Amino acid sequence: MTHIARMKVRQLADLMEDGKERTAPMAAKELKWSANDLCRAMKQLYRDGHVHIIDWHIPKTGGYVAVYIIGQGPDKPKPVQRTSYERRRLQSAREQTERRRLEVEKMKVFVPFRDPWTAALYGEYQREAA
């Protein structure tokens, strides 16, 4: 391990000393490092037993990201990846929920803005019966 790499591992260890749970991308933002450098440093801390995996976070892009915390302890096992059928089923359910929400929005009565002068000349807006 190079001198710079050791320095980075030490800086990351100092950051993790506050006891907060962090994913590698969160720590990279705080230290303003590249994600690649930080992942290497985090893996080194993990191999040395300074941090352990407390949880797994699922970002919007998919996959799993480890949530680390300082100290030793049992690692939470990585969840099993969803099958393509499960992913499609969940996506379909989200789309169906969104379609229902849009239908409810459409059913709301549309009351356009009526200029006061136009309303004085022609009367208030009245919706014709369908």
For the stretch 24-51, pLDDT in tens is 888 888 889 888 888 888 888 899 888 9
What's 26's domain CATH number?
Answer: 1.10.10.10
- Which stretch of DSSP H or E encloses residue 68? strand 65-70
Q: What is the C-alpha separation between 55 and 38, in angstroms, rounded?
A: 18
Task: Please name which of 9, 5, 16, 23 lies closest in space to residue 59, comparing C-alpha atoms.
Answer: 23
With 80 as the cut, is the pLDDT of residue 125 above it? Answer: no
pLDDT, tens digit, 9 for 90 and up, residues 81-114: 888 898 899 899 999 999 999 998 888 776 677 7
Residues 106 and 49 in one domain: no
Q: Is residue 77 a part of any domain in this protein?
A: no
Over range 6-11, report the average pLDDT: 84
Q: Is residue 128 a part of any domain in this protein?
A: no
Residues 65 and 90 in one domain: no
Q: Is residue 78 a part of any domain in this protein?
A: no
- The residue range of the domain holding 55 is 3-70
Indicate the number of domains in the chain.
2
Query: Contact at 8 Å (CB) between 67 and 55?
Result: yes
Residues 16 and 47 in one domain: yes
Query: Contact at 8 Å (CB) between 14 and 70?
Result: no
Q: Is residue 127 a part of any domain in this protein?
A: no
Supply 41's token pair.
């440093």
With 60 as the cut, is the pLDDT of residue 130 above it? Answer: no
